[in-house]
Amino acid sequence: MLGIIQFTRYGIVGLLSNGFLYCLYLIITWLGVEHKMAMTVLYILGILQTYVFNRLWTFKHKGIVKSTLPRYVTTYLLGYIFQLVMLMLMVDKLGFPHQVIMALLILINAALIFLLQKYWVFSRRTAIAAE
């Protein structure tokens, strides 16, 4: 049951954050910013924006920041590399529209990152280790 509640909260944070960031992505690429650069800048903004909400609300983690923030950043760095490689492959090499690929990558990445946050970043073990 706790996992469902956490996933629901994670989904709410993610939908609000990614919805906002995707709209920004569409606007700044429409204004002429290259799609990989736009994704990079907005990805960094997304990491900073969601850390606090996921730590305090989604996972109600009581551990100290220095025990979770490096893991959180690493998780998102892995997600960034995944998204960048997929954009390069699917858009630059295969010619699919970046708007569609980016929307799909947001969904796939969200599921992978949730699992890493639940079982590695904000796990019960990291909360106990901080005590």
Query: Model confidence over 62-93: pLDDT tens digits?
Result: 888 888 999 999 999 999 899 999 999 999 99
Query: Quick check: 129 and 63 in contact, CB under 8 A?
Result: yes
Q: What is the DSSP string of 36-71?
A: HHHHHHHHHHHHHHHHHHIIIIIS---S-HHHHHHH
Half-sphere exposure (Cβ direction) of 19: Cα atoms closer than 13 Å: 6
Q: What DSSP state is assigned to residue 14? A: H
Tell me the CA distances in angstroms from 64 to 35, 42, 122, one per residue in order.
Answer: 35, 26, 10
Q: Report pTM.
A: 0.74
Distance of CA 20 to the CA centre of its chain: 13
Give pLDDT tens digits for 30-47.
999 999 899 889 988 988
